[in-house]
Structure 1
Amino acid sequence: MTETGIHYLDARGPEGLRVYAIGDVHGRHDLLAAMHRRIESELEYSSSSDWRVIHLGDYVDRGPDSKSVIDFLIEARERDPRNVMLAGNHDIGFLDFLDRPDPDGLFMRYGGVQTAASYGVKLSTGSSWFGRPDEVLAHGHAALVEAVPQAHIDFLKSLSFSAAFGDFFFCHAGVRPGIPLESQSPQDLIWIRDAFHDHPGLYPKVIVHGHTPVPEAEVMANRVNVDTLAWQSGTLSALAINGGDKRILAVQGKAF
């Protein structure tokens, strides 16, 4: 798979289909709404016969308003199923925590406290006046399970791990070199880093992903990374594809 694949410069989207791929949101409802407004204005200004807006996962954790992000995405998909949502490792980590409250798991270590707060729940692994750390976490977990709507759980469980349009393959983290795109494992699609980033060859399609923050969107011969650390930097990025035309879009908001 060294030179048998497609180079970014040669890659094209499907004829008549405009595609947008939005990077990691991480609780930044303000930036997600702003990006959708920008995309909607583009589609109104220069209409296309069809379109897809692909969200590359990591909707929750770290940022201030994960609950509103999920509400927004559910409404967007119900309004028009051409809004496509893929799974990120933090989204699966949220489901894992709701199923079993692990104090050392992804959710508690990397921004789950902020996610819980967006549902009006305080999570802690420390001691308090009403119990030991495990009791405190169990109390917070029970409150969070009660607070998260079933529609949010159903949404997270419904997320696909990848999508493909034209010469582009979309996923959260990346792919494992040497494995056919249709045979990639869900674990790799939401977690992989080094083996994917360090691969010098081309893939059968250009891989569009997030997961690993970069200061600005990174366009390589074999992949495009649109995770610009939105929750902290205040910049949410996306790749816009219209036939052979490829552009990076960005919306700006408050940095933390």
Structure 2
Amino acid sequence: MKSTESLPSTVYAIADVHGRADHLEAMLGYIAAHSNNRQSKPVVIFLGDLIDRGPHSPKVLDQVCSTLDLYPGSRLILGNHDFYLRELVRGALTYEDAVNWMDWGGVATVSAYSGRPVPDFEKIAADIRRVFTHHVDLLENAHTFMEMGRFCFVHAGIRPGILLANQDEYDLRWIRAGFLDHMDVLDHVVLHGHTITKSLRPEVYSNRIALDTGAYRTGRLSAAVIRRDELSHFVCTELTESGAIEVGEWRPD
């Protein structure tokens, strides 16, 4: 599913939560605190990979459902990890995808959803469909990308030289080579996650903004703030020495 939306005053794009409900809670608290005095509510775009690796994937989906209800126009972009969960609940998860998913953090996710042993996927899927119907709806209504002003919001990236409407969904969820090394101008500035940045900070390039800062292992969940169709700044969570989570604004040099 693809979406083109009118331009809101403020957009937060959040990438690759990967089960870190604690950091997402802190990020959403920041957004709420900085939205109370504004005339219009912001739009929050989740760039996918809500689940796996971190400890609280079902809670993250609860948080995302609540956020989409709270801020009209907000959306989830389906990530490659989220795709596996969607295919599981559809009963369409292939053997190859199941093996890959379990190797890449899926065991923690399905175990958090159901006490049934892996790989009893049929019964696990039935448990999810019965108890977490709102999560099923969230995944089924997720988008593959969004266009908004001069920006394109996507999980992994796009294939240069191909119109957005003609992009392959696999590329949108998985691409690295051919996109990350593409230096020429694109039709949109692409906001994406999927690939952890080398600096472990958000990185700004001439044609893209990379937002995956490895929250599940670094403790840094990052969001880009877009105002009036321009990048304003970033918001990042940080772990203190005491283990508390702080949220601060960050601007690259």
* TM-score between the two structures when normalised by the length of structure 2: 0.82
Partner SS, residue 238 of structure 1: strand
- 1:172 equivalent to 2:155? Answer yes
Tell me if 1:224 matches 2:209: yes
Query: In structure 1, what is the Cα distance between the partners aligned to 2:202 and 2:78?
Result: 20
Q: Distance in 2 between matches of 1:24 and 1:194?
A: 19
Moved more, 170-179 or 88-97: 88-97
Alignment equivalent of 1:187, drawn from 146, 167, 170: 170
Aligned to 1:78: 69
Residues 40-189 of structure 1 aligned to structure 2 (within 5 Å): 40-45=32-37, 47-98=38-89, 99=91, 100=93, 102=95, 105-121=99-115, 123-124=117-118, 137=119, 140-148=120-128, 149-189=132-172
**Shift of residue 183 of structure 1?**
2.2
Task: Report the alpha carbon displacement of residue 252 of structure 1 after superposing the two structures with TM.
Answer: 2.3
After superposition, the Cα gap between the structure-2 partners of 1:196 and 1:207, relative to the gap in structure 1 and judged at 3 Å, is same
SS of corresponding position for 1:239 = strand
* Deviation at residue 186 of structure 1 after TM alignment: 1.3
Look up the match of 2:25: 33
Distance 1:182 1:65 in 2: 34
Q: Aligned partners of 1:174 and 1:252: how far apart in 2? A: 26
CA–CA separation in structure 2 for the residues paired with 1:155 and 1:16:
22
**Aligned-residue offset at 1:95:** 2.2
Structure of greater relative contact order (alpha carbons < 8 Å, 6+ residues apart): 1
Any idea what SS the aligned residue of 1:82 has?
Answer: coil
* C-alpha distance in 1 between matches for 2:160 and 2:103: 29
Question: Structure 1 stretches of 5 or more lacking a match?
Answer: 1-13, 125-136
Say if 1:121 and 1:206 are closer, same or farther in 2 by CA, change over 3 A: same
CA RMSD of aligned residues (A): 2.1
Q: Which runs of 5+ in 2 are unaligned?
A: 1-5, 245-253
Return the offset for 1:70. 0.9
Identity score, percent: 35
1:129 is matched with which residue? none
Q: TM-score, normalised by structure 1?
A: 0.81
Please give the residue correspondences for 1:206-217 in structure 2 after superposition, counting only pairs within 5 Å. 206-214=189-197, 215-217=200-202
Alpha-carbon distance in 2 for matches of 1:21, 1:245: 11
Computing the radius of gyration from Cα coordinates, the structure with the larger value is 1
